[in-house]
Chains A and B, each alone.
Chain A
Amino acid sequence: GESVGLHLPTLSVQEGDNSIINCAYSNSASDYFIWYKQESGKGPQFIIDIRSNMDKRQGQRVTVLLNKTVKHLSLQIAATQPGDSAVYFCAENSKAGTALIFGKGTTLSVSS
């Protein structure tokens, strides 16, 4: 069945460190993945996406890596800042393309 999961529920880093948030997915036919950030009291916010014909995509301070061989997705945040503290979700489109299937989320805590 379709499922998207995350390896660790929490991640604590120091300001300035690089953060890596991981996600494993089970549907080998998935062809589009998205990372969302959810700050306390707010809705999920789009960060970056990647299609299955790519291995890597970079944004501003963020990089998403896709390893289709082991069905693994990661989000790398460079020079992590306190404002990056949030819950991060990976998601994929459902097979029918009618829904986003979310993982459980990783809570990133950044200390100064």
Chain B
Amino acid sequence: EAQVTQNPRYLITVTGKKLTVTCSQNMNHEYMSWYRQDPGLGLRQIYYSMNVEVTDKGDVPEGYKVSRKEKRNFPLILESPSPNQTSLYFCASSPLIGRRGKAFFGQGTRLTVV
């Protein structure tokens, strides 16, 4: 089954404790991306990757890092989480680089930073 898998689904952590949210897709997609979803603000892009070893900032990259060492994996790293990073996070992948692709989304990771 074609899917994007995120882990964990739920996470509560303390300010400053480094964490990683994993994302894996089994569709051999070149393009992957991270979004955060906040009430009243909708979905906003954090980082994206066009292919292995190619990553770039989205609209709200501050406080986040990513890596793309393999095509299927695109982890989101919070080196020093802060309460304003409490949000619902989605990883997405698509078969084409941007314009004509139909993005597949993971189930989401609900992060709470206290």
Binding site for B on A (CB under 8 A): 31-32, 34, 41-46, 49, 89, 93-94, 96-100, 102-105
Contacts and interface: CB of A to CB of B under 8 A. Distances in A.
A29 to B, nearest CB: 12
Contacts of A105: 42
11 contacts: A31-B99, A32-B99, A42-B107, A43-B4, A43-B90, A43-B105, A43-B106, A44-B105, A97-B98, A98-B58, A105-B42
B103 A100 contact: yes
B interface, size bucket: 20 to 34
Contacts of A93: 98-99
Contact of A103 (B42, B48, B106): B42
Secondary structure of the A contact surface, majority rule: loop
Contacts of B104: 46
B108 interface: yes
Contact of B108 (A42, A96, A100, A103): A42
